[in-house]
Each structure stands twice: as C-alpha cells, then as structure tokens.
C-alpha cells in the first residue's frame, strides 16, 4: 500500500505542477455545455430532452482528451519500467496512476455536473442522478481509456488510435448513464440503471488493471 500511495501522491503532484494542462478537459467539458444551447436554441423543453446525452458525451470526450499522456512520460523516461520491476503489486501501481488521473479529471467532471444541469435546464432529481451516474461512469471510462493508452504508449502518434480503441468499449457505459438521467427527468425509476453502472465499474476494477499491466509489459518488451 505504501507503493500505491507513493504513486498516487507523485502523479497528483506532477499533474498539479503541469501548468494547468489538467484543466483542459474540464474547460472543454464546460465549453461543450455552454455552446450546445447556442447551436440548438434556448427552448427549455428541447434542452431538457437532449441534456442527458449532451453531458454524457461531453464527459466521454473530456476523459479521452487527457488519457494519451497517462503513461507516455513514464514510458519515455524509464519510470514505468522501474515501477513494473519493483516487488510491489503492479495492480496497485497501475490503480494509483489511474486514481490520480480520475481525481483530477472524472471526479471534477462529476462535481461540475450540477452546473451543466443548470445550463441545460435539468432540475431536481435529474441533477442528482446525473451526478451519481457520472461518479459511477467516469472511473469505468477512465479505465477503458487507460487500457487504450497502454496499448498505444509505444507508438509515436497514437492520438487517433486511442479513441478508435476505447470509444466502442465506452458505448454501453454511455448508454446506461444517459438512460439513467433520462429516466430521472421523466420521473421513472433509476435504480436499475445505476446498478448496471455500478456492476460495470466493479467488472472494470476487477479485470481492466490486469489487461493494462499486460499491455504495458508488451510495450516495454518491444
């Protein structure tokens, strides 16, 4: 656990010292939310209908925007190889990096979701469900994007490949997160959708870190 905590603290410090680069996905998320009503019009009924999909798609794109750098710097300077050679559990080390990235990305997106809901005229219960759905969905999205980043870390130009690999895997998460908010806005039960998002998160936490480790080892072997 010391190794996990050390990796978590190190990545958080590096992210916060990066000159504000970690803010770019958050600014992108807010820009999409602000600009979308200007494109489709200010009609409240229309905004409420499209709001769940707009927010969830913006969150997916914001997560993808910063994932290419998750392992690249450590791969290029040799830190990643040393991390995987240490006696500490590679699962904990990878999860430390992914958690640090989520805390400065997906978690903040979830905190910003009530502001996005106000801009798109979502109210009451739908705003709460939106926040809960993003809290459950963004870690899964982050792990899926981390897998794509690990698969492409050894490539010089992976900007196009990363979304091509990860977006098809993210579609179920996007569908159920959007459906949960739509159901809440319509006054329907949402427990089933949130349970499915939680189940996806548990499956992702169980399986994806090992796939990421395998992809990183394969990249280092070449």
Over residues 211-222, the pLDDT tens digits come to: 999 998 888 886
Mean pLDDT of 126-141: 94
Mean pLDDT of 87-113: 88
Model pLDDT, residue 84:
82
Number of residues assigned to the chain: 222
Cα separations (Å) of 7 from 73, 118, 175?
14, 36, 33
pLDDT, tens digit (0-9, with 9 covering 90-100), for 155-193: 777 667 888 888 999 999 999 999 999 999 888 999 999
What is the extent of the structural domain holding 144? 2-221
Cα separations (Å) of 177 from 26, 58, 88, 219?
19, 12, 35, 33
Q: Is 88 exposed, middle or buried (0-12, 13-18, 19+ CB in 10 A)?
A: middle
pLDDT, tens digit (0-9, with 9 covering 90-100), for 30-55: 998 988 888 887 787 888 888 899 99
Number of domains in the chain: 1
Picking from 100, 120, 102, the residue whose alpha carbon sits closest to that of residue 111 is: 102
d(CA 170, CA 103): 19
Picking from 173, 166, 167, the residue whose alpha carbon sits closest to that of residue 203 is: 173
Which 3 state secondary structure label does DSSP give 153?
coil
């Amino acid at each position: 656990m010391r190794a996990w905590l050390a990796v978590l603290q190190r990545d958080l410090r590096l992210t916060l010292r990066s000159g504000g680069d970690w803010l770019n996905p958050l600014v992108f998320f807010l820009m999409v939310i602000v600009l979308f009503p200007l494109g489709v019009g200010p009609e409240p009924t229309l905004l409420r209908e499209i709001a769940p999909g707009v927010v969830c798609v913006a969150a997916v794109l914001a997560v993808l925007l910063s994932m290419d750098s998750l392992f690249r710097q450590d791969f290029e300077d040799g830190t990643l190889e040393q991390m995987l050679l240490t006696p500490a559990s590679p699962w904990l080390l990878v999860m430390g990096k992914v958690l640090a990235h989520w805390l400065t990305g997906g978690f903040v997106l979830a905190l910003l979701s009530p502001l996005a809901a106000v801009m798109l005229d979502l109210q009451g219960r739908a705003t709460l469900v939106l926040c809960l759905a993003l809290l459950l969905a963004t870690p899964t999205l982050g792990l899926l994007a981390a897998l794509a980043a690990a698969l492409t870390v050894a490539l010089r130009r992976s900007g196009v490949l990363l979304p091509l690999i990860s977006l098809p895997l993210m579609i179920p998460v996007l569908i159920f997160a959007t459906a949960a908010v739509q159901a809440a806005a319509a006054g329907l039960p949402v427990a089933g959708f949130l349970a499915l998002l939680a189940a996806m998160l548990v499956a992702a936490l169980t399986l994806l870190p090992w796939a990421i480790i395998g992809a990183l080892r394969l990249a280092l072997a070449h």
